[in-house]
């Protein structure tokens, strides 16, 4: 079965292709793992890397950190923000020294009881340091699982969180839980990326359900997407002969039940060039042949609580890629019969040459 291949293929990718380097990878000292996880809460890896190295150099053990002056530790933390993390860090270091003689707790129940430690951090420490079979569930894990299994449950809903936590636990490699947890996070960070996943070169793409039906860039689903103030929509207007791909917006979001072109939503602006478009199309669909590409100017629309910005990228294909055959393709002349949001209607493709 396809599902049975997930863990096997992920671990194979990790062994043969995972080149991601971080100073805490492979670490077995629970103190250092805990420190790295606390630093990485609300912090990008690139930013947290340097802080981690400075902390380890100045406080190589939990005893050193527990004895440090508050002002000294807060000064070293300066710039990371969310200072309550630093406060909890000091409290927990002193608790471990005073109550556990400096020996880090070794069971999941004891670890999650520590101040400032949630389920994700507890799972990371338990699996990395003590090889306990507790699956981590972060943004990378949500994304990988939702795409591989084509799950449309919202990752930020109560039901969705329960579903993904259960799924993550079901597929963890129980013999190598720490290695598996690091592998799925690395995979999400380097291959199954948010806006620009490397689907065609992905070792799992042949059995990834979202890839098979061409909905990778629509997953994962979030309920609270409406809270975003600025959103970037990049619409790919795929044309094949006289047909155009369209998609009906069904999720609980703006423009529900209206139609759109193939959407790539990004948290930040992307600088599209002809070569970038061709590379993206290759990474997504494996299309190598030269395609006619036209990139529009940046359009914007002010909604009540959001600003939508984006571009339209017209791509003329010689044939419809297999992963896009599941989408709706209509004759270009039929576009006027479908309801589109204002943001799309302002782009001349709707009325030009029809």
- pLDDT for the residue 351: 46
What b/e string do you get for 167-198 counting C-beta neighbours within 10 Å, with b at 16 or more? Answer: bbeebbbeebbbbbbbbbbbbbbbbbebeebe
Judge whether 202 lies within some domain: no
Same domain, 235 and 328: yes
Same domain, 19 and 140: yes
Same domain, 169 and 233: no
Judge whether 172 lies within some domain: yes
pLDDT in tens, 225-274: 656 688 999 999 999 999 999 999 988 888 988 999 999 999 889 999 99
Using alpha carbons, list the distances in angstroms from residue 297 to 130, 235, 283, 313.
53, 12, 24, 10
CA gap 269, 188 in Å, rounded: 20
Listed residues 169, 190, 211: the one ending a domain: 190
- pLDDT for the residue 3: 59
Phi/psi of residue 343, each to 5°? -55, -40
Q: Tell me which residue range forms the domain holding 300.
A: 222-350
- pLDDT for the residue 348: 64
Domain of 296, CATH number, reads 3.90.79.10
Phi/psi of residue 88, each to 5°? -65, -35
Q: Kindly list the catalytic residues.
A: 37
Judge whether 236 lies within some domain: yes
Domain of 66, CATH number, reads 1.10.340.30
- pLDDT for the residue 286: 86
Band the pLDDT of 353: cuts 50, 70, 90. Answer: very low
pTM for the structure as a whole: 0.85
Judge whether 299 lies within some domain: yes
Same domain, 182 and 230: no
Judge whether 37 lies within some domain: yes
Judge whether 227 lies within some domain: yes
Judge whether 108 lies within some domain: yes
Judge whether 206 lies within some domain: no
CA gap 206, 116 in Å, rounded: 40
Residues 107-129 have a mean pLDDT of 95
Same domain, 35 and 99: yes
Listed residues 168, 190, 212: the one ending a domain: 190
Listed residues 190, 210, 238: the one ending a domain: 190
In the chain, the number of structural domains is 2
The answer, yes or no, to whether residue 134 has pLDDT greater than 70, is: yes
Same domain, 154 and 65: yes
């Amino acid at each position: 079965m396809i599902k049975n291949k997930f863990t096997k293929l992920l671990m194979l990718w990790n062994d043969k292709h995972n080149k991601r380097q971080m100073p805490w990878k492979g670490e077995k000292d629970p103190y250092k793992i805990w420190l790295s996880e606390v630093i990485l809460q609300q912090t990008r890896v690139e930013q947290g890397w340097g802080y981690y190295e400075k902390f380890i150099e100045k406080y190589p053990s939990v005893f050193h950190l527990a004895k440090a002056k508050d002002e000294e530790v807060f000064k070293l933390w300066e710039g990371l923000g969310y200072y309550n993390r630093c406060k909890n860090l000091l409290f927990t270091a002193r608790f471990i020294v005073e109550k556990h003689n400096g020996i880090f707790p070794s069971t999941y129940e004891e670890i999650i009881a520590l101040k400032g430690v949630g389920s994700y951090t507890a799972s990371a420490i338990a699996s990395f340091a003590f090889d306990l079979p507790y699956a981590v569930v972060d943004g990378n894990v949500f994304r990988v699982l939702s795409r591989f299994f084509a799950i449309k449950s919202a990752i930020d809903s109560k039901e969705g969180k329960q579903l993904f936590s259960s799924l993550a636990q079901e597929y963890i490699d129980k013999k190598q839980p720490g290695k598996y947890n690091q592998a799925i996070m690395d995979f999400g960070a380097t291959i199954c990326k948010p806006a620009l996943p490397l689907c065609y070169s992905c070792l799992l793409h042949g059995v990834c359900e979202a890839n098979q039906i061409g909905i990778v860039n629509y997953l994962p689903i979030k309920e609270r997407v409406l809270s975003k103030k600025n959103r970037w929509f990049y619409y790919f207007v795929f044309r094949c002969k006289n047909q155009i791909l369209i998609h009906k917006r069904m999720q609980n979001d703006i423009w529900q039940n209206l139609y759109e072109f193939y959407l790539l939503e990004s948290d930040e602006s992307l600088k599209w060039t002809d070569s970038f478009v061709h590379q993206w199309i290759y990474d997504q669909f494996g299309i190598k042949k030269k395609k006619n590409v036209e990139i529009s100017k940046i359009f914007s629309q002010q909604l009540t609580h959001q600003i939508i910005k984006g571009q339209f990228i017209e791509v003329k294909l010689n044939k419809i890629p297999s992963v896009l055959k599941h989408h709706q393709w209509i004759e270009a002349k039929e576009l006027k019969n479908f309801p589109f949001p204002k943001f799309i209607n302002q782009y001349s493709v709707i009325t030009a040459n029809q």
